[in-house]
Structure 1
Amino acid sequence: MNKLVLRLLRQHLNRGQLVGFFVANLVGLVILLLGIQFYQDAAKTINGSDRLLPSDYIILSKPVQSDKLFSRGATTFSKDEIIGLRKQSFTKRLGQFTPAKFRVTAAIHFGIELYTYIFFEAVPNEFLDVSPEDWTFTPGQTVLPIIIPRQYLGLYNAAFAQSQGLPQISEAGISRIPLSITVQGQGREDVYEGRIVAFSNRLNTILVPKSFISWANSQYAQGIEAPPSRLILQAHNPSEPTIGEYIRLHGYQIEGGNTAGEGMAILRLIASGVFALGLLISLLSAYLLMLSIYLLLQKNTKELTTLLLIGYSPRDIYRPYWLLTFSLNALALVLSAGIVLILRSLYLAWGQAILHNLAGGSILPMLITGLALLVLCATLFAWAIRRRILNLPAYS
């Protein structure tokens, strides 16, 4: 590198401007890269196998569209709607809730007698989150296995039992309580011995084997298969934005809300804001550096023109200026990446103390983004400085 060009560079170099650029660029890169890394870590926690927010399974239904107190409008899914859902890229599996089309009552006898109407539904076995051993039914069988939501038992123990002075029941104990299930329809009435064999955390309904529902609907109802009013969808990624867009477009509703999707939408919004802020600060700092370099070139116009006239090439002249900008940007990137990794270790340690399933994501997207910005800035600065040198009177 020619000593004359370096001497010209140092002669009018404003170190205060360079320090200002470096600090601004460092702050912008820290904000930008920290936003990217935090998004990766949070997305890993939300969507990982041990995710913070629940699961890949989404229960779909249709809202009742009526201004009246009661409505008889159909809220079932047609075959075309089911086929349309199966074809979507976000759908991994799709199942139907099959409801009982007959009257069901249940009675419990354990010192006192409780009697109530209940409902039965069935889903394909692959959508169950439990695998009880006796989850079968054949015609003529008198014992009917039942799965109930775990929250039903919790509500009974926490609210109903205490307020009514009734005994509380454990999960192990409720399976030993005799249930009398009376099924009525089509002029028939039969009594089955109900037995609770498992508790579901996923499905908020009273489940019986699908074989029982299919057989009982043909015996106690008209036997006509009605279209389902609820569907269970297993998504490849429950936080995918297209799921919410598709559901809103078709007027469906998600029972309980798509927590993972909502969490990821909020996370994307926050990450986008942080990314935009960091990028804006970095661009402004790069603009400041470019103005400083242009000012140096302007102050040295006479000397640089002389160097061109005596035989120096434009490459020899612009290389020191480009190396100055590249070195400052590279140093800012290295320091910002180090600061981000330190901050990441702190918030991961804090998060794991609260959420034991918190898992960090990959740091590659953060590093790749930083390197891409460095290459982009180096390319733009090289083009701008070379263009300015080529516009000097001696060269043009």
Structure 2
Amino acid sequence: MIKKILFSYQNKSQLIIAMIGSFLGFTFLVTSIHYLIRVNEFGEGEEILGNNTMIIQKQINNYSSLKLSKNDFSEREIESIRKEEFTEMLQPILSNNFDVSLQTDSELVPYLRTDVFVQSVDNEFTKIDTNKWKWAPGDEYIPIVLPREFLVMLNTFASAKGIPPISDDLAKSIGFKFTLSSPGKKEMEKVRIVGFTNEVSAILVPSSFMEYGNINFPKDEPAIITQLMLTVKEGRFGDFENYLEKRSLESKENSMIVGKLKSVAGTLFSILIGISVITVFLAGLVLVQYAQLLISRNEYEIRTLLRQGYSPKKIIKSILLYFIKVFAVISGASIIAFSVVKFFIDKLLDKGGIQIDAGFTFLSILAVIFAFGIYTIVNYFNAKRGVLKTL
């Protein structure tokens, strides 16, 4: 009865326009939030370095080869980079100033021994479990992170010996040994692989082991810093890239590509989120105005219903339920539209070689639920004020 009196004879053109606006805003909003999250997740789980973390070094040129220019960083240069606005965290990468070789120590693979280059950085720059990434003299083994190029080399060597290739999981179970040496002194330590990296060309070790080796097996030459580990602030990748070009610095190409992808895509999706929020807000205002206009036009009918014994709560509830259904239709349609759009976007990204998680993100759906809740609360108080005003 109440629904028929209040809603059956209303001009719904304004309502339809507001619903279309809200539908588009909701769809853009959920899509933008979803892909902003997925873009920032791109590459995670495959790399041990933290998000937006790069290794930088000086470009090698003919002058460097002739030793007419230095390729190491001075304290002054390090402090200068640390003060740049794009820098979130910066730390020199410690390199071994002692002789160290790595050899296999397992019947699963043929014997292989090679001199290696090891480095260490603070754990805050990596995603390695701190419980696994620690070492002290006397421990059973030294945890290491191995460059994938080394595993490729090991598999090539194994194939030449007629041995099946080694997977990541199998490599972690294979025994290795470090041999530390200096004139008149030698020591062997067991090694265990705890991860792999595409970003670092050297074997990564805990800083405690690096300090131990540099103290107990030192070379005559002083240690120099040739690489820095730098975490770039969100949204400042362009400034970072320009700085590298001006200062003749470089980082690994694949890191730069991924960083640029995240920066550009993150900026675009952030802009789209802003536009979507404005669209949803404006469409919401139109819906609120429509509800106010509906109550205003039905003041006589509402007053009559009240005189006939209908309680204000029942009338408010009828108005609220009507708009809850409207919001539910908008939300449901936007999620369905997002699912369709997501299907095609995921296929395009996959064809382009960008593989992201195909699942739905919780925050994107939560954004629709949150907007739905805000609309409902605002409409409730709007209906309550309008109905009580007619008393």
Output the TM-score relative to the length of structure 2.
0.58
Which residue of the partner structure matches residue 64 of structure 2?
none
Q: CA deviation at 1:386?
A: 0.6
Tell me how far apart the structure 2 counterparts of residues 270 and 381 of structure 1 sit (CA, whole Å): 32
Tell me how far apart the structure 2 counterparts of residues 93 and 75 of structure 1 sit (CA, whole Å): 11
The C-alpha deviation readout for 1:183-239, integer Å capped at 9, x for no partner, is xxxxxxxxxxxxxxxxx964579xxxx879996841xxxx4x355243346xxxx67
Q: CA deviation at 1:290?
A: 1.6
The C-alpha deviation readout for 1:123-169, integer Å capped at 9, x for no partner, is 3374651367797564579xxxxxxxxxxxxxxxxxxxxxxxxxxxx
Instruction: Indicate conservation of the 8 Å contact 1:98/1:121, yes or no.
Output: no
Tell me how far apart the structure 1 counterparts of residues 16 and 239 of structure 2 sit (CA, whole Å): 51
**Range 333-342 or range 252-261, more displaced:** 252-261
The C-alpha deviation readout for 1:250-276, integer Å capped at 9, x for no partner, is 999763475344432322211111112
Q: CA deviation at 1:96?
A: 1.3
Tell me how far apart the structure 1 counterparts of residues 379 and 21 of structure 2 sit (CA, whole Å): 17
Q: Which runs of 5+ in 2 are unaligned?
A: 60-67, 99-114, 121-143, 155-175, 185-196, 203-209
Check 1:332–1:239 CA distance in 2 against 1; reply closer, same or farther (3 A cut): farther
Which residue of the partner structure matches residue 123 of structure 1?
118
Q: CA deviation at 1:380?
A: 0.9
What amino acid maps onto 1:124 in structure 2?
Q
Instruction: Indicate conservation of the 8 Å contact 1:12/1:299, yes or no.
Output: no
Tell me how far apart the structure 1 counterparts of residues 355 and 8 of structure 2 sit (CA, whole Å): 57
Identity of aligned residues (%): 15
Check 1:345–1:376 CA distance in 2 against 1; reply closer, same or farther (3 A cut): same
Check 1:97–1:37 CA distance in 2 against 1; reply closer, same or farther (3 A cut): same
Tell me how far apart the structure 2 counterparts of residues 48 and 363 of structure 1 sit (CA, whole Å): 15
Instruction: Indicate conservation of the 8 Å contact 2:34/2:363, yes or no.
Output: yes
Q: Which runs of 5+ in 1 are unaligned?
A: 64-69, 101-119, 142-199
Which residue of the partner structure matches residue 38 of structure 2?
41
Which residue of the partner structure matches residue 255 of structure 1?
251
Q: CA deviation at 1:342?
A: 1.4
Counterpart mapping for 1:168-317 below 5 A: 202-203=199-200, 217-218=219-220, 223=221, 225-226=222-223, 228-232=225-229, 241=234, 255-256=251-252, 259=256, 260-317=258-315
Instruction: Indicate conservation of the 8 Å contact 1:60/1:231, yes or no.
Output: yes
> Which of 29, 34, 58 is matched with 1:32 structurally?
29
What amino acid maps onto 1:389 in structure 2?
V
Q: CA deviation at 1:331?
A: 0.8
Instruction: Indicate conservation of the 8 Å contact 1:99/1:228, yes or no.
Output: no
Instruction: Indicate conservation of the 8 Å contact 1:59/1:231, yes or no.
Output: yes
Tell me how far apart the structure 2 counterparts of residues 284 and 38 of structure 1 sit (CA, whole Å): 23
Check 1:15–1:6 CA distance in 2 against 1; reply closer, same or farther (3 A cut): same
Which residue of the partner structure matches residue 385 of structure 2?
387
Tell me how far apart the structure 1 counterparts of residues 331 and 279 of structure 2 sit (CA, whole Å): 14
Counterpart mapping for 1:155-170 below 5 A: none
Instruction: Indicate conservation of the 8 Å contact 2:56/2:250, yes or no.
Output: yes
What SS does the aligned partner of 2:93 have?
strand
Q: CA deviation at 1:16?
A: 1.9
Q: CA deviation at 1:389?
A: 1.5
Q: CA RMSD in A?
A: 4.8
Tell me how far apart the structure 1 counterparts of residues 90 and 369 of structure 2 sit (CA, whole Å): 36
Which residue of the partner structure matches residue 170 of structure 1?
none
Which residue of the partner structure matches residue 325 of structure 2?
327
> Which of 18, 21, 26 is matched with 1:21 structurally?
18
Which residue of the partner structure matches residue 154 of structure 1?
none
Instruction: Indicate conservation of the 8 Å contact 1:95/1:127, yes or no.
Output: no
The C-alpha deviation readout for 1:13-38, integer Å capped at 9, x for no partner, is 11222222222211111111111222
Instruction: Indicate conservation of the 8 Å contact 1:239/1:264, yes or no.
Output: no
Output the TM-score relative to the length of structure 1.
0.58
Check 1:137–1:319 CA distance in 2 against 1; reply closer, same or farther (3 A cut): closer
Counterpart mapping for 1:91-102 below 5 A: 95-97=93-95
What SS does the aligned partner of 2:74 have?
coil
Instruction: Indicate conservation of the 8 Å contact 1:58/1:254, yes or no.
Output: no
Check 1:312–1:55 CA distance in 2 against 1; reply closer, same or farther (3 A cut): closer
What amino acid maps onto 1:373 in structure 2?
A
User: Rg larger in 1 or in 2?
Assistant: 1
Tell me how far apart the structure 2 counterparts of residues 232 and 381 of structure 1 sit (CA, whole Å): 52
Is residue 59 of structure 1 aligned with residue 52 of structure 2?
A: no
Check 1:375–1:350 CA distance in 2 against 1; reply closer, same or farther (3 A cut): same
Check 1:22–1:202 CA distance in 2 against 1; reply closer, same or farther (3 A cut): closer
Tell me how far apart the structure 1 counterparts of residues 354 and 262 of structure 2 sit (CA, whole Å): 20
Instruction: Indicate conservation of the 8 Å contact 1:99/1:121, yes or no.
Output: no
What SS does the aligned partner of 1:47 have?
coil
Which residue of the partner structure matches residue 10 of structure 1?
7
Check 1:255–1:99 CA distance in 2 against 1; reply closer, same or farther (3 A cut): farther
Q: CA deviation at 1:312?
A: 2.6
Instruction: Indicate conservation of the 8 Å contact 1:36/1:271, yes or no.
Output: yes
